[in-house]
Amino acid sequence: MAEPAARLVQYTQRARFVGDRAFYQNGNEWDDSNLSTQKNARVTRLSFGSDEYFAFLAQHPETEPYLALGRNVKIALGNDEYDISEAAATN
C-alpha cells in the first residue's frame, strides 16, 4: 500500500496550482498548463533577474505569483509564451 501513496505524493509535488492556473514540473522548470492550448505562439525568452525580466514583471504584474514558482518558468499570456530561465538568452 505504501507504493501507491508514495506515487501520489510524488505526483502532487510535481504540480502547483497558482490562482486559476496549474503548473507542472518538468525537470527544474515549471510549465503553465495553458501552454498546451497555444497554437503558433510567439516565444519570448527572458533571463531570470535581468533588466528585461523586471521590465516584463512591471508590464505584467499579474504574473508575479506565477514567477514566484522559481527561476525557470514558462507561462502563457494571450497568444504569447514567455520562457523565463536562468540560462535564457534575451530576445
For every residue of 38-64, DSSP letters joined together read -SSPEEEEEETTSHHHHHHHHH-GGGH
26 or 13: which carries more pLDDT confidence? Answer: 26
Q: What's the confidence (pLDDT) of residue 87?
A: 75
> Is residue 27 included in any domain, yes or no?
yes
Domain that holds residue 78: 15-85
At residue 90 the predicted structure's pLDDT band, cuts being 50, 70 and 90, is very low
> Is residue 54 included in any domain, yes or no?
yes
Q: What's the confidence (pLDDT) of residue 1?
A: 47
> Is residue 9 included in any domain, yes or no?
no
Number of folded domains in the chain? Answer: 1
Please answer whether residues 31 and 24 qualify as being in contact, where contact means their C-beta atoms are separated by less than 8 angstroms.
Answer: yes
> Is residue 30 included in any domain, yes or no?
yes
> Is residue 7 included in any domain, yes or no?
no
> Is residue 1 included in any domain, yes or no?
no
9 or 40: which carries more pLDDT confidence? Answer: 40
